[in-house]
Chain A
Amino acid sequence: MPYTKPIPEPDPLGKPFWDGAKAGKLMLPRCTNCNRVHWYPRLICPHCHAREIEWIEASGEGQIHTFAVQHRAFGGWADETPFVTAYIDLKEGDRMFTVLRGVDATKPETIKIGAPVKVEFEPANDDVSIAFWRVAEE
């Protein structure tokens, strides 16, 4: 089935993330000076301002920080309303945005902040895979 939703145009700065996504791995930038992970990718560590940044393979585990249920959307997403968007606290630190899977968008009261989630990747085209997070099975 063709991927109908917006497909980002990866930039050179985030290349290790996009390469990792294609291979089914979550890659995150980490400062070699202060050892803190940051998201989104930077040219300079936003914590200590060192410019030596490495990429690590992350666990792909996190927790729901907060969420919303989108009842109005455009383009390819319009066909999927309602769907749940969420900010994910990464196990390694900092936060990502996603569309949450494994939840019932018509019952937001059943979705719990703090619930554990795992990353998965969906190929959007030959070059780009998109990260989605799924509520972990009990």
Chain B
Amino acid sequence: MPGELSRAAAIVGAAEANEIGYPEDPKTAIQLHVEAIKNVSDQTGIPISRINGVFGAGWSSQIAEHLGLHPAYIDTTAVGGCSFEMHVHHALAAIHAGIIDVALVTHGENGWSSRATKGRGTGRSRGGDPWDPGSLYSSPYGVSGAPSNYSHAMTRHNYRFGSTPEDFAHIAVVTRQWATLNPRAVMHSKETHPFGGPITIEDVQNARMISWPLTLLHCCLVTDYGGAVLVTSPEIANSVKTKPVWIAGAGENMSHSNMLEMEDFTATSAAASSAAAYKMAGMGPEDMEMAMIYDSFTVTAGITAEMLGLAPRGEGFTLWKDGRAAPGGKFPINTNGGGLSFNHSGMYGMQLLVEAYRQLSGTAEDAGYSGLPGKQTSARSCVVNGTGGSLSTTGTLVLVAD
């Protein structure tokens, strides 16, 4: 008997770049991608604008951005030459699940031309290609890493909504309060870090300036972390000894790859990714009892809270400022102490997942392997939102307790 995914999707067109083999004039990888994409669009009559899933073995977000797309499914599985067969497999699942209905699987590789371009234009590593637009049109201007980019978003938020850096400083102060309840947090106390323990608005605002208006305490930590989660079928979930936390909804999206293409500096694609997740869950922000929000910077968390529908536009920071997000508040946010005060290893999305599971499974105070408990809340539902790049990409989950 065929499986549930059998014939759930089909390949409807296939095309190549205009010139393959040994082009006389050297080509870049993105050039080969774009030619093939335009050709398959022409071949099938499906406009490029109709594509809602982008699958590539690297550089998926850059390709989507080059095309001006905001896909609801982004896959960069890159495990060698078989990646594209896997992309088809993943696209089948995504289509079957109703997340997307037009998937683009694309490839461009200038194995020959890269000899003439001296290894440039290969698109092989993010940010490492001197012909990547970010390198060409941003790197001459002295920006170095995330803080120097994210600060531009806070300036624009302050301008547009009349908010202030002090408003966002409340996010750092409240998140630190959570960290003081979590002995695993780097900034738990003076015992865990010389600058650990409670902080004030003045501490945040008087800290060393990194990229105005962001001081050091508006920025996340840089630490080590390891984490893993297991996702299983309902049958297995119902038969194991641990408590399941159900994935009620999931969604993803992107507004840009390079900040040059960030249309609105006060908004992220979390509006779209959370809309998809809430729709899948049949729930809304009003049904959420807590949130785990990626807080690479205070401004990331504040803006994201608005995108998730947890606060009106321009007022995300009020969740922290009026104490709702704080320990004992009505709507706990970042109960582990956040990327700001718990742990941030570079990519913090796993930390969000682990804490959301601990909270919703009622195991937040289990000391576990480390022997260090956290702080349990009573929440039964949680919206989890990860943000990647320069406020570029977002993934939202709606998780509910058993």
B212 → chain A closest CB, angstroms: 4
When C-beta atoms are compared, the residue in chain B nearest to A10 turns out to be B136
User: 1/0 contact trace for B211-229 toward A, CB 8 Å?
Assistant: 1111000000000000000
User: What residues of A have a CB within 8 angstroms of the CB of B142 in the complex?
Assistant: 5-6, 70, 73, 76-77, 80, 83, 85, 99
A23-50 with Cβ < 8 A to chain B:
39-47, 49
Give Cα A12 to B212, complex, Å: 36
Instruction: Indicate if B344 sits at the interface (CB-CB under 8 A).
Output: no
Tell which of B49, B138, B258 touches A49, judged by Cβ atoms closer than 8 Å: B49
User: What residues of A have a CB within 8 angstroms of the CB of B48 in the complex?
Assistant: 44, 49
Give Cα A54 to B387, complex, Å: 35
User: What residues of B have a CB within 8 angstroms of the CB of A113 in the complex?
Assistant: 155-156, 159
Give Cα A83 to B142, complex, Å: 9
A5 → chain B closest CB, angstroms: 7
Query: Is the beta-carbon distance between B212 and A108 smaller than 8 angstroms?
Result: yes
Query: Is the beta-carbon distance between B259 and A97 smaller than 8 angstroms?
Result: yes
Instruction: Indicate if A11 sits at the interface (CB-CB under 8 A).
Output: yes
Tell which of A9, A66, A68, A83 touches B120, judged by Cβ atoms closer than 8 Å: A9
Instruction: Indicate if B144 sits at the interface (CB-CB under 8 A).
Output: yes
Query: Is the beta-carbon distance between B209 and A71 smaller than 8 angstroms?
Result: yes
Tell which of A6, A40, A51 touches B140, judged by Cβ atoms closer than 8 Å: A6
When C-beta atoms are compared, the residue in chain B nearest to A80 turns out to be B142
Instruction: Indicate if A14 sits at the interface (CB-CB under 8 A).
Output: yes
Q: How many chain-A residues does the 8 Å CB contact rule pick out?
A: 48
Query: Is the beta-carbon distance between A9 and B212 smaller than 8 angstroms?
Result: no
Query: Is the beta-carbon distance between A97 and B213 smaller than 8 angstroms?
Result: no
B18 → chain A closest CB, angstroms: 10
Instruction: Indicate if B143 sits at the interface (CB-CB under 8 A).
Output: yes
When C-beta atoms are compared, the residue in chain B nearest to A99 turns out to be B141
User: What residues of A have a CB within 8 angstroms of the CB of B153 in the complex?
Assistant: 66
The 7 closest A-B pairs by CB, nearest first: A46-B68, A77-B142, A68-B151, A69-B212, A66-B156, A11-B131, A40-B133
Q: Which residues of A contact B (CB under 8 A)?
A: 5-14, 39-47, 49, 51, 65-74, 76-77, 80, 82-83, 85-87, 95-99, 108, 113, 124, 130
24 residue pairs A–B, Cβ–Cβ below 8 Å:
A6-B142, A8-B130, A8-B137, A9-B131, A11-B120, A13-B28, A14-B137, A43-B35, A44-B34, A44-B67, A49-B47, A49-B49, A49-B67, A65-B156, A70-B212, A71-B208, A71-B210, A72-B144, A73-B144, A74-B144, A97-B137, A97-B143, A113-B156, A113-B159
Q: Which residues of B contact A (CB under 8 A)?
A: 26, 28, 30-31, 34-35, 37-38, 41, 47-49, 65-68, 120-121, 130-131, 133, 135-144, 147-148, 151-153, 155-156, 159, 208-214, 258-260, 265
Given A8-B130, A49-B41, 14 more A-B residue pairs with CB atoms under 8 Å apart are A9-B136, A10-B136, A11-B120, A66-B155, A68-B151, A70-B212, A71-B210, A72-B211, A73-B142, A77-B144, A82-B212, A83-B142, A108-B213, A113-B155
